[in-house]
Amino acid sequence: MTIPKKAFGRSGHLSTRTLFGAAAFSSVTQDEADRTMELLIERGVNHIDTAAGYGDSEMLIGPWMETHRDHFFLATKTNERTYDSAKAQFERSLRRLRVNQVDLIQLHNLLGEDEWEVAMGPGGALEYLIEAREQGLAKYIGVTGHEVAIAGMHQRSLERFDFDSVLLPYNYLMMQNETYRAGFESVLAICRARNTAVQTIKGITRRPYVTDHHSHATWYEPLTDQASIDKAVHWLLGDENVFLNTVGDIHLLPKVLDAASRYQKRTPDAVMRAMVAEWEMAPLFV
């Protein structure tokens, strides 16, 4: 079975609904990255989401862009907030990725009030990204973020600029937070009206780590068994408006892709509630 696809917002690109979250390449070898890239191609995944801040991720992807650039919608991010620093970082990303253009460049984790004012104001990072788009270095511009407050900040960002995509957390447990649910739904409504792509993260979160020992490369404790991953992924994909950025651990990635390839309908809320109790799940962001 194949992973379903849908148009990635106004780009029109038919992206697999599971986008490869290349944070999974933050601390792996080139051999591990190569095997993962082979898996993505085998499973038909055609969209990569990386960032300048994901360790050596861009460098590990670079060799594959020399031979498989046409196969992937390629997105990266800048965590710089001023024009000059964003320009320098993005030019470095292009070199590391070994490309002349990316499909999407995003403002990475734009949440804090002060940094928002800098990035979105005169001489800010957004000013450079617009220029990069005009120069043909990027086709589209997006904004990303974490935490409960990001839904409100994304609304503010969308009021300031007509972004082509947004990225924010989404899973069953987070949507039980009334404040976050209301904010997420408001962002989703704006994006539907504008045909703005909505990317989601933290789809298979179990809870924050409760000990100093981290069993996986993710900075949260993930669900790990196939049945539970199936439930979480199928619940998320049941919202036809969103994409799932895959887990930040290459060893769990096959399970997420397997779940997505078998998606048929949304996991019922009663089943999700039972899983929350079974695994003592807890919100990552409160």
Are 92 and 77 in contact by the 8 Å Cβ rule? The answer is no
Residue type, 158: L
Fold of 5-278: TIM Barrel (3.20.20)
Residue 33 to residue 29: CA distance in whole angstroms = 6
pLDDT at position 213 is 86
Per-residue tokens: 268: 């019922």
pLDDT at position 168 is 98
Q: Which of 143, 257, 153, 151 lies closest to 196, judged by CA?
A: 143
**pLDDT tens for each residue of the chain, 286 residues long:** 799 999 999 999 999 999 999 999 999 999 999 999 999 999 999 999 999 999 999 999 999 999 999 999 999 999 999 999 999 999 999 999 999 999 999 999 999 999 999 999 999 999 999 999 999 999 999 999 999 999 999 999 999 999 999 999 999 999 999 999 999 999 999 999 999 999 999 999 999 999 888 999 999 999 999 999 999 999 999 999 999 999 999 999 999 999 999 999 999 999 999 999 999 999 998 8
pLDDT at position 245 is 98
pLDDT at position 150 is 97
Are 149 and 111 in contact by the 8 Å Cβ rule? The answer is yes
For 185, residues 6+ apart whose C-beta sits below 8 A from its C-beta are none
pLDDT digits (tens, 9 = 90+) for 177-233: 999 999 999 999 999 999 999 999 999 999 999 988 899 999 999 999 999 999 999
pLDDT at position 286 is 84
Is 167 strand, coil or helix? strand
Q: Give me the residue spans of the domains in the chain.
A: 5-278
Are 103 and 97 in contact by the 8 Å Cβ rule? The answer is no
Per-residue tokens: 282: 């807890």
pTM: 0.97
